[in-house]
Structures are given as C-alpha cells and as structure tokens.
Amino acid sequence: MQTKWFQFSSGRAQDASIERANGAPAEPRPAPEDSKEMSTTTPANSGNNSSATLDSNWLSFDEVYRSAGIKTPRLGYSICKIVEMLRNEHIRNLPTETKRASLLMALDAAGVAVDEVLQDASLRQRALNSYEAIQQKHIEEYEARKAQENRAIQAEMERVTAEYLERINRNLDEVAHGKGAFHRWQMKKQYEIQQIAEASTLCVTPPAQADSTPPSRELAMVMEASKR
C-alpha cells in the first residue's frame, strides 16, 4: 500500500472536479452561508452595536463527510471501516506486517479493490482539510473584527478619559483661582485692619498725657483685631 495516499491534503477547499467515491457522483455541497460550516451567527441587537459571535459547535466528522457529499463505498468498506477493523482487539496488537496482510486478505475476500479504499481516504482527508480551512478563515475574520472593535473602544475610552481629565483639571484650576483670590483679599484685609488700628490710636490721648483711665472697650477691640 502506498502511504502517500494517507498524507493530509494541503488544499483549502474541495475541487469541483473531485473524483466521485466508488462510482457515485458527489452531491453538491451547500453554500457556506446556508450550511452548518458557517461558524458565526448574528445575535440580537443588544445595544448600539451588534456583531457576529463565534460558534464553537463544530461539525462532527460524519457531518463534514455528508456535507462534502461523500458516499459510503459499496459493501461499506470505507476508510473509516478499515480504521474500525484495525481497532479490533484481535488485530490492533499484531505486528504491522501482520496487520497489513490481514487487512489485504479481508479486502480481497470481500471483493474490494485497495484503490477504492484509498480514494475514499483521500476524499475524506480533503473534506476535513477543507472544513478546517473554512473555519480557520472564519476565526481569523472574527478575530480581526474584534480587534477593530477593541481599537474603537480604546479610542473612545481615551477620548472620554481625556474629556474627564480636562473637567477635573478645570475644577482644580477654578479652586486654585478662587483660593488665590481669597488669599489676595486676606492680604488686603490685613492691611485694612492695620490702617484702621493706626487711625484708631490717633483718636485717643497717648498714655504719657492721659490719666490712669484704661482705653475704652472699643479701642481695645480694634487693637486686638490688628494683631490677628
């Protein structure tokens, strides 16, 4: 048996001229938009923005094969059946050459050509690779959309942050301006108090020329205020 038939195909999608399995024409594959191969769905609009979400419910292998239009070969000897045969407890622990001989003997007894099995294996590998490539593309597109959405969110967040920082700084500036103005008023008030105190002292007789009568209560209050 030629092992090259069991190498996974590197193609991304099945070719339209793919050979039919066991003489049966392949059924047309549904368009990605109408089949389960689509990995994204559109959720209900929950806000101003709505985007497709990633669906993690991948198709089973049998669903991929059916979607690719792969038919079970005659007598049921697909490559999947061969895999099941090799898992049998009476065969799986045998040496490789013994397994090969037993397998070829079984195929020959059933009247199944080896090429039919290998062709089925090739079709199924190509179907799996095609499905994987489609889903990989969907994931990459989804990631790109989310990255773009994140950049928009980041830009909006930076814009809103800058706006609020501007408001905060404006509030701080207003407080600083108010405190500065009040401090200047306090300086003027202190000067005013001193002027009043000096003028008030001129309204009374100096201690050397006055009698022992203490200064009036009003003058005492003025002098005390000038010390503050």
Q: Which residues touch 11 (CB under 8 Å, ≥6 apart)?
A: 126, 129, 130, 133
What is the pLDDT at residue 179?
96
What is the pLDDT at residue 144?
96
What is the pLDDT at residue 155?
97
**198 is a domain residue:** no
**207 is a domain residue:** no
41-78 pLDDT per residue, tens: 333 333 444 456 776 788 999 999 999 999 888 788 88
What is the pLDDT at residue 198?
86
**156 is a domain residue:** yes
Question: Mean pLDDT over all residues of the chain?
Answer: 76
What is the pLDDT at residue 9?
36
What is the pLDDT at residue 208?
58
144-171 pLDDT per residue, tens: 999 999 999 999 999 999 999 999 999 9
Q: What is the CA radius of gyration of the chain?
A: 46
Phi and psi torsions of 6, nearest 5°: -95, 10
**194 is a domain residue:** no
Q: Is the pTM of this model over 0.85?
A: no
For the chain, which residues score pLDDT lower than 50?
1-50
Q: What is the dihedral of CA 100, 105, 106, 108, to 10 degrees?
A: 120
What is the pLDDT at residue 8?
33
**179 is a domain residue:** no
What is the pLDDT at residue 215?
58
Contact 144, 31 (CB under 8 A): no
What is the pLDDT at residue 73?
83
What is the pLDDT at residue 19?
39
Contact 137, 22 (CB under 8 A): no
The backbone region for 165, taken as left when phi is positive above 0, alpha when psi lies in -120 to 50, beta otherwise, is alpha
What is the pLDDT at residue 66?
92
Sign of CA dihedral 211, 216, 222, 227: positive
| Tally of domains in the chain | 1
What is the pLDDT at residue 129?
96
What is the pLDDT at residue 202?
83
What is the pLDDT at residue 61?
92
**190 is a domain residue:** no
**219 is a domain residue:** no
Reading the block at residue 3, the tokens are: 């092992």
Range(s) of the domain holding residue 115 = 3-167
**116 is a domain residue:** yes
